[in-house]
Chain A
Amino acid sequence: MSDIVRTEGLTKSFKTKYGRVDALRGIDMNVAGGEFVMLLGKSGCGKSTLLNIIGFMDSPDGGKYYFDGEDVSSLSNDGKADYRAKRLGFIFQQFNLIYTMTAFENVELPLGYAGVEKSARREKVERMLKKVGIGDRADHLPSEMSGGEQQRCAIARALIMEPKLILADEPTGNLDEDSTEKIMQLLKEINAGGTAILMVTHDTDLTVYSDRIIKMKAGMISDETE
């Protein structure tokens, strides 16, 4: 399958009061359509920076970034927002749900923003919540759900626009072993449906779920295994 994500010589540095920090030093990597790729590395190696650039939350200082064959290295802020809204789904370690909204309302957000009619939204959201296993939690606030259920809600929100790529930044970091396994099974099912997944993790035990592993060290790719 063709590449969903391809980067060539991606660089990114930050100015701090201690001097310049080179977070990325020339990253060449790719994620093929339908592939499950894990990004491993120690804290501070640049995994999250790379994920933020791929997820259009940040812009690279140098290099090229191609998304689904299009050069998106220097998109405007609105252009990046549109890609995030329509082509990507994000899953975070801290779930990042809006705590004053129910599970239904959280999952409904991207659809509402896309201009989908209320009746069509209701049907899609209910179907998605059932798919991720929290159909009976639709009217519950995040504070009324367990960590695993909140993460499922976040996954439902990430999937609702049927993106080609899901970016997951340590999605199991705040979960117990049992919940971790259930979330990974869910992600594997999603991947089997054709959605590419790029996941950042510290946990080497989770690599069994992936098709390919990319290891990072000090802002560069140190190893790649399948």
Chain B
Amino acid sequence: MNNRRFFYENALGGIRRMRGRYLPLGIIAALTAACSAFADAKRGVINDMSAMLIEDSVDLYRQVSEAGTVKRIGGYINAGALIIGVISVIFISLLMQRTRIYEVGVYYSIGFRRNFIIRTLLFETFSFTAAASIAGVILGSAALPCL
């Protein structure tokens, strides 16, 4: 069946109808992306400060050490935020799809193929999360001059 257009219609309709439930997912994705973008940008500032310390200080090894440590800490915060965010998004996604078991059952009884149903749910989750993440990166980068 040539139902590609209906696939996007139905999936985007699903996001619109479920926007209240997708909101926590979107907020976490946006916050994760914002923290990650912010930490990334701040790491650049910290690196610059470390470079200045190396130039001015007498104890070169200590300066380089501190710079290396500070750089690593920035990286750890960044990675930690990403991991927590990704796990949270996956967890909430799974919880949300469980609440849609009824809807999946209805689609199944009407005659939707299993593959179509799975692709619809995946598309809804990933497209909403991606949009929220992009918004988060923009917000995170925009917040940098303020902090």
Taking Cβ atoms with an 8 Å cutoff, the residues of A that contact B are 55, 57, 77-78, 81-86, 88, 90, 92, 96-98, 100-101, 105, 109-110, 112-115, 157
Contact across chains for A112 and B111 when beta carbons are under 8 A apart:
no
Contact A112 B114 (CB under 8 A): no
A114 touches B109 (CB 8 A): no
Interface size class of B (residues with CB under 8 A): 20 to 34
A/B interface sample: 28 pairs, CB < 8 A: A55-B109, A78-B113, A78-B115, A81-B111, A81-B113, A81-B114, A82-B111, A82-B113, A84-B110, A84-B111, A85-B112, A88-B111, A90-B110, A92-B109, A96-B109, A97-B106, A100-B17, A100-B18, A105-B13, A109-B10, A109-B107, A112-B6, A112-B9, A113-B6, A113-B110, A113-B112, A114-B3, A115-B1
**B3 & A77 in contact (Cβ 8 Å cutoff):** no
* Interface check B103, CB cutoff 8 A: yes
**Contact A113-B1, Cβ < 8 Å, known A96-B106, A96-B109, A101-B17:** yes
Q: Could you give, for residues 80-120 of chain B, a 1 whenever the CB lies within 8 Å of some chain A CB and a 0 otherwise? A: 00000000000000000000000101111111111110000
Query: From residue B14, how far is it (CB to closest CB) to chain A in Å?
Result: 9
* A85→B110 contact, CB < 8 A: yes
Picked from B1, B9, B10, B115, the residue with its CB within 8 Å of the CB of A114 is: B1
Q: Is B57 in the interface zone, CB < 8 Å from A?
A: no
Q: Which residues of B contact A101 (CB under 8 A)?
A: 13, 17
Main secondary structure of the interface of B (DSSP, over half): helix
Q: Is the CB of A57 within 8 A of B110?
A: no
Bound-state Cα–Cα, A78 to B111, Å: 9
- Please tell me which one of the listed residues A55, A105, A113 contacts residue B3 in the complex, with CB atoms under 8 A apart: A113
Q: B141 → chain A, closest Cβ, in Å?
A: 35
Q: A84-B111, A157-B110 are in contact. Are A115 and B17 (CB under 8 A)?
A: no
Residue of A nearest to B117 (CB): A81
For the complex of A and B, 5 pairs with smallest distance between CB atoms:
A85-B111, A84-B111, A100-B17, A112-B6, A115-B2
Q: A100-B18, A113-B1 are in contact. Are A90 and B6 (CB under 8 A)?
A: no
Beyond contacts A81-B114, A109-B110: 11 other A-B pairs, Cβ-Cβ < 8 A, are A55-B109, A77-B113, A81-B111, A85-B111, A86-B111, A88-B111, A96-B105, A98-B103, A98-B106, A112-B9, A113-B112
- Complex interface: chain A residues within 8 A of B111 (CB): 81-86, 88, 110, 113
What is the bound-complex CA distance between A97 and B113, given in angstroms?
18
